[in-house]
């Protein structure tokens, strides 16, 4: 297999390593993934996260197993188990379905080739998304983003954060407002870390400040990623995204979704059909990570903790994909109906 050395994923000597994102930004710890339960646990525990990265990491893990001599039956069983590891993120299902078809056609060698192709293609898709999105950004814009959509979340430079990065590289003097993204703080921990490494000016805010910042700092646009996009444009993304779209509409800021074609789900008519992952109450009752653990709520406090929400297409101004940028009129006319098959 080809060696890889990314910000969040490495392959050397047919062994997959993932940076444990739960320890960032305080500590850079790398996990060696040697078996399927460890890969599933890394996904469940958000040690690897971001819809594109989940799919790519799982695919490359299976490729390392195939390269080490795993047979077709064993790989098929692992494919099925991994496909269901995170129900909202369609990229994982897309990758596993592609690998299953390749395994059936050409055996383990076909799986390896397809996994490496998916990883390389994701990096290219990120570049196309970045170019398409940055072309729409004017000099000096104030941009808000949510969760983490950069190199940690993809095999390339990122989706929404890739657009921001490309605009910065073009010298557009942008400023980024980063929502901390409760309850697991992917914005505060991961996006702030990536922006700092890239030298992109940013300000970190709590999620509850977002609407007030839109009102007082004239935010030009909000750019977010996506975990699944239905055929009608309804978009599943990190919890809190829907509220940002509502606030953006009121305050006149554009609201844009940046994602690769692999995030489109043509089998899903609208957002009501998207399964929303429910996570542990402990994530809301307190916090745990490299800095230690702290509980602030009563241990028996009832908790509702959906990982994602659905933003209706009516609140989204544009979908920035690798193939093109679509507005609401395009999407209402069926631009997303064909899904990934039309673009991939």
CB-based contact 19:152 (threshold 8 Å): yes
- Residue 174: partners with Cβ closer than 8 Å, 6 or more residues away: 137, 140, 141, 142, 143, 164, 167, 168, 200, 201
158 contacts 149 by C-beta, under 8 angstroms: yes
Check if the beta carbon of residue 323 is closer than 8 Å to that of residue 335.
no
Rounded Cα–Cα distance for residues 103 and 80 (Å): 12
- What are the DSSP calls for 45-93, one per residue? TTSS-SHHHHHHHHHHHHHHHHHTT--HHHHHHHHHHHHTSSSS-HHHH
What is d(CA 276, CA 292) in angstroms, rounded to the nearest whole number?
Answer: 29
Q: Token pair for residue 82?
A: 């991994």
| Nearest to 261, CA basis, from 143, 147, 170, 125 | 125
CB 74: neighbour CB atoms within 10 A?
Answer: 15
Q: How does strand 318-320 pair with strand 254-258? A: parallel
Active site residue 220: no
Strand partners, 286: 295
Q: How far is CA 336 from each of CA 53, 232, 241, rounded to the nearest angstrom?
A: 22, 7, 20
**Cα separation values, 174 from 23, 140, 194, Å:** 29, 5, 16
Residue tagged active-site, from 20, 78, 207, 227: 227
Task: Return d(Cα 5, Cα 65) in angstroms, integer.
Answer: 19
Residue 332 CA to residue 3 CA, distance in Å, equals: 43
* Structure-token match 């429910």, residue found: 278
Residues designated catalytic: 227
């Amino acid at each position: 297999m080809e060696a890889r050395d990314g910000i969040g994923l490495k392959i050397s000597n047919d062994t997959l390593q993932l940076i444990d994102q739960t320890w960032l930004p305080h500590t850079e710890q790398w996990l060696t993934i040697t078996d399927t339960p460890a890969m599933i646990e890394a996904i469940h525990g958000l040690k690897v996260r971001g819809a594109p990265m989940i799919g790519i990491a799982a695919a490359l893990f299976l490729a390392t197993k195939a390269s080490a001599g795993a047979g077709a039956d064993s790989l098929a069983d692992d494919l099925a188990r991994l496909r269901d590891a995170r129900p909202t993120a369609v990229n994982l299902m897309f990758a596993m379905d592609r690998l299953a078809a390749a395994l059936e056609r050409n055996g383990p060698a076909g799986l390896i080739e397809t996994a490496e192709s998916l990883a390389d293609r994701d990096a290219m898709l990120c570049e196309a998304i970045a170019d398409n999105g940055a072309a729409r950004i004017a000099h000096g814009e104030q941009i808000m983003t949510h969760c983490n959509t950069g190199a940690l979340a993809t095999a390339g430079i990122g989706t929404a954060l890739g657009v921001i990065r490309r605009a910065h590289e073009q010298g557009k003097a942008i400023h980024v407002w980063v929502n901390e993204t409760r309850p697991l703080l992917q914005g505060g921990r991961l996006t702030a870390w990536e922006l700092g490494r890239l030298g992109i000016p940013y300000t970190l805010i709590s999620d509850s400040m977002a609407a007030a910042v839109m009102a007082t700092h004239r935010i030009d646009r909000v750019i977010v990623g996506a975990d699944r996009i239905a055929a009608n444009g309804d978009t599943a993304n990190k919890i809190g995204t829907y509220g940002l779209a509502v606030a953006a509409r009121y305050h006149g800021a554009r609201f844009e979704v940046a994602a690769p074609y692999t995030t489109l789900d043509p089998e899903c008519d609208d957002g009501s059909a998207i399964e929303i992952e429910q996570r542990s109450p402990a994530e809301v009752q307190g916090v745990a990570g490299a800095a230690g653990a702290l509980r602030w709520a009563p241990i028996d406090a009832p908790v509702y903790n959906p990982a994602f929400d659905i933003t209706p297409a009516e609140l989204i101004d544009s979908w920035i994909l690798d193939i093109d940028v679509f507005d609401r009129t395009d999407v209402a006319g069926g631009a997303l109906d064909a899904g990934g098959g039309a673009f991939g």
